[in-house]
Chains A and B, each alone.
Chain A
Amino acid sequence: MKATPSRVLIAVFIAMSLAMLMVSCAPTPKSNIVSSGEIRVYEVFGMDCPGCHGGLEKLVKAVDGVVAAQASWQEKRLTVTVAEGAELSDDAIREAIARANFSSGERLK
């Protein structure tokens, strides 16, 4: 079979798509499995699809004192697990939410 440019293009596209699919669907550590620590729940507005979670959780988890973070676009909520004994202000969490281009509402828990 002759390797025409079109066939090469299709092969490149399929290979890249498969690579993205495999990396994206690879098992990731559950961010909400934490046996101890304070649990806080915040309202978050602006999330509208499953793809919104990753960026927000990544920024919140980078805050000092945060052990885990899990967002739900359907419930418009962010659940944060704080390390035992850590001093963590709500402002630090709200700042991380703002850096994700979302808006924080009330702290529900």
Chain B
Amino acid sequence: MRRLSTNLRVCLLCLLCTTNAGLAGISLDTGLTPAEGRWILRTQMRVMSRDAPVGLGDRSMDRLMVPLVVVHATSPKLIIGARQIYESRTMTMNGMETTTSGLNDLYFFAKYKVLRVNTRTYTLGIAPIMGIEPPTGAVDISSESWDLYAGLYASGRAGPWALDFNVGYDARGIAGVTHDSAEPGDELGLDLALSRQIPLGGSGRTTLAPVLELIWRDVGANTSGGTDLPNSGETTLRIAPGLKYTIDSLIIEGLVSIPVAHDPTGLQLEAGTMGLLGIRWMF
């Protein structure tokens, strides 16, 4: 029983290690800051499943996340926002199922426009972002540490084509440690998204955009006393085809994120496919 409990905690640690990795996808418009005074309300439903590699026991993890993001453009240059995720995780090990659910850590961020070029033929925008995530979440859901995020987002538009690029670094465990006295590993992420907008009807009120995203995440191993902990940290490359439907100020988006390469450092669960369905409203 004690061994089972230890294994479950290892699973949980591995899961915490990949908390933010599960949040990638639909990174469009990130470098283009909205109009002053604009509010954006966004919610999604993300479903992800991970299984143990063949021959390494009966372990699996199902994860359901519903993030709610509120963003406000306080000026043409600065936007501020907050994100709260409600999450449910079910871990199965040797037929024993454990479900944990609750609110994850609150995340506050600010994005600043450093470049915006609008011409007759193309649009280009670059905006760095900084965020902080205090450990406000529920037990076994929270990362239990203060995390800092810094990133640079760039977006380009030319005719119906859109290209978005995000690079971000998540410095985790800058203060506070997990209940296992472990310091969570940092995360480096790269996202590249290509889409083509197709107007539907003649009014210009509705468009449909097929999207293709490439998502790369490198999560460092958790450490304790300066030593890397086993079975934590991984590198994942995902390809994510999706669709974005826009009607006036409402966007409905969906994608399927498929792992094409996964390099774990130990006996972590294999990266699984993630499904995402979201809605965004600007007002």
Instruction: State the A residues within 8 Å of B (CB).
Output: 4-6, 9-10, 12-13, 16-17, 20-21, 23-25, 45-46, 48-56, 58-59, 72-74, 76, 98-103, 105
Shortest Cβ-Cβ A-B pairs, 10 listed:
A55-B35, A46-B118, A5-B101, A100-B35, A103-B118, A24-B250, A45-B118, A5-B88, A20-B281, A74-B204
Query: Which of A5, A20, A101 touches B99 (beta carbons < 8 Å)?
Result: A5
B35 x A101 contact (CB < 8 A): yes
Instruction: Establish whether residues A9 and B250, one from each chain, have CB atoms under 8 Å apart when the complex forms.
Output: no
Q: B76 near A: Cβ within 8 Å?
A: yes
CB distance from B24 to the nearest CB of A (A): 19
**Which residues of chain B have C-beta atoms less than 8 A from A76's C-beta?**
120
Bound-complex Cα distance A17 to B281 (A): 9
Interface size counted on chain B using CB atoms at 8 A: 46
Shortest CB–CB separation between residue A95 and chain B, in angstroms?
10
Contacts of B11 in A (CB 8 A): none
Minimum distance in angstroms from B137 CB to a CB of chain A: 14
On whether the beta carbons of B246 and A101 are closer than 8 Å, the reply is no
**CB <8 Å contact, B66 and A20:** no
**A51 CA to B232 CA, complexed, in Å:** 41
Across the interface, do A48 and B120 meet the contact criterion of CB distance under 8 Å?
Answer: no
Kindly report which residue of chain B lies nearest to residue A28, judged by CB atoms.
B248
- Complex interface: chain B residues within 8 A of A48 (CB): 123, 157, 162, 197
B262 contacts A by Cβ under 8 Å: no
The CA-CA distance from A58 to B145 in the complex, in Å, is 41
Question: Do A23 and B35 form a contact, CB below 8 Å, given A9-B66, A45-B119, A76-B120?
Answer: no
A73 and B204 form a contact (CB under 8 A): yes
Query: Which chain A positions have C-beta within 8 A of B37?
Result: 55, 58-59
Which chain B residues border A50 with CB–CB below 8 Å?
204-207, 246-249
- A100 lies within 8 A of B76 (CB): yes
Which of B66, B123, B162 is A46 in contact with, Cβ under 8 Å? B123
In the complex, A55 Cα to B39 Cα: how many Å?
A: 9
B211 part of interface (Cβ distance < 8 Å): no
For B113, list chain A residues within 8 Å (CB): 101
Determine the distance from Cα of A98 to Cα of B73 in the docked complex, in whole angstroms: 14
Most buried by A among B38, B86, B99, B118: B118
Whether B33 sits at the interface, judged by CB under 8 Å, is: yes
Residues of B contacting A17 with CB < 8 Å?
43, 279
Q: Please state if A51 and B116 are interface contacts (CB–CB under 8 Å).
A: no
Interface centre among A4, A46, A98, A100 (most CB of B within 10 A): A46
B76 touches which of A45, A58, A99 (Cβ 8 Å)? A99
Residue B130 CB within 8 A of the other chain: no
Is B36 located at the chain interface by the 8 A CB criterion?
yes
The proximity string for B residues 173-208 relative to A, scoring 1 for CB distances below 8 Å and 0 otherwise, is 000000000000000000000000101000011110
Contact mask B1-38 → A, CB, 8 Å, 1/0?
00000000000000000000000000000001111111
B114-156 contact mask (Cβ, 8 Å, vs A): 1 or 0: 0010111001010000000000000000000000000000000
Name the distance in Å between A48's Cβ and chain B's nearest Cβ: 5
Given contacts A50-B204, A102-B118, contact A45 B35 (CB under 8 A): no
A8 to B251, CA, bound (A): 23
Interface contact A54-B45, CB-CB below 8 Å: no
Cβ-closest chain A residue relative to B44: A13
Q: A13-B66, A59-B36 are in contact. Are A49 and B88 (CB under 8 A)?
A: no
Residues on B with C-beta less than 8 A from A56 are 35
Does B68 count as interface, using CB distance less than 8 angstroms?
yes
CA distance A99 to B43 in the complex (A): 26
